[in-house]
Amino acid sequence: MNGERPIRVLIVDDSAVVRHILTECLAKEPDIEVVGTAADPYVARDRILELNPDVLTLDIEMPRMDGLTFLRKLMRFRPMPVLVVSSLAQASCAVALEALEEGAVEALGKPAGPYSVGDLQNTLAAKIRAAAASHMRPRPAAPPTAVAPPPSPARFREPVVVAIGASTGGTEAIAQVMQALPANFPATVITQHIPAGFSQAFAERLNRTCRMEVKEAEDGDAVRTGRALVAPGNFHMLLRRCGANYHVVVKDGPRVCYQRPSVDVLFASVADQAGARALGVILTGMGSDGAAGMLALHNQGAPTIAQDEASCVVFGMPREAIKRGAADKVLPLGAIAPALLRLLAA
């Protein structure tokens, strides 16, 4: 997107302290330049016209105009990559996820509470780079017409575990896949790169809009038909088998591919515990997390699907899996749920 030119960032936040922290976190990055800051959306509007930034960081709770309202206007009149920086209060997390639905490409917790400045420095630059690499798509002027879900088989092969992994752009990609699946779909485990605090709101939103039960995973949760478990932010999730049944282990541990939760950790455990009785799906995201784990699934005989480049927000993770020969099928996002239904029909 930028060639050799640094990624130009505009920081929008009503807190002078947060503006300073974000600027300082990016100051040592040679490929990123903070070109300006704004204390509210009205100032931000003028700065965007003046500075032409590549990426915007956007607070949700601001005076004069809230961040979500500003984002909707921005995506209508001047679409650009937006990284939402939100407090970790549950209400704010829910609004941040709504911002992702409205076109923001990433979400990040503010440097407060459990989110230390050190943690922020380790992740902010990576998320800025992911946002800059994203494929922006125009937002529809009106909500799309509801499409009938694909026909579902009456029965599915059992026991089967479906593992899904994603990063940048993944919350909406996962929602699109999950909303097309029936209530009796096989047990599903999901790792989305997401900050601590946001994963509960993400799981709750999926649970409201999907036919399956969806919940943020807790250690020991049963993995069963009709249920999808989402890895909690800042924790790895692994599959474990006990006889004919499965459950998840939720645990701390070192970051893998700079991520916690890591898709590789989940996929590798599913390959080990379920083998050919699993199915792996890797969706949009920056980096290589999930590629090694998907190759492990493929080598165990589990069918694997990668999202194609044209429908990805960022093609990094699927591209790495495809390069390693780990993907049996490469499909546009809208074709993934129907493919799952066909693969898993009894």
The answer to whether position 148 is within a domain reads: no
Which residues belong to the active site? 167, 193, 289
Task: Tell whether the model's pLDDT for residue 299 goes beyond 50.
Answer: yes
- Domain CATH code at residue 322: 3.40.50.180
Cβ neighbourhood burial of 254 (10 Å; 0-12, 13-18, 19+): exposed
User: How much is the pLDDT for 147?
Assistant: 47
CA distance 228 to 186: 9
User: How much is the pLDDT for 112?
Assistant: 61
Domain of residue 324: give its range. 161-344
Q: Which of 102-111, 193-202, 204-213 has the highest average model confidence (pLDDT)?
A: 204-213
Angstrom CA distances, 191 to 58, 119, 213, 262, 280, stand at: 25, 20, 16, 7, 11
- Global pTM value: 0.90
Q: Which two tokens stand for residue 171?
A: 């919350």
**CA of residue 290 relative to chain centroid, distance:** 13
User: How much is the pLDDT for 185?
Assistant: 95
**236 forms bridges with which residues in the sheet?**
251
Task: Tell whether the model's pLDDT for residue 62 goes beyond 50.
Answer: yes
37 and 80, same domain (yes or no): yes
The answer to whether position 147 is within a domain reads: no
183 and 325, same domain (yes or no): yes
Q: Could you give the number of structural domains in the chain? A: 2
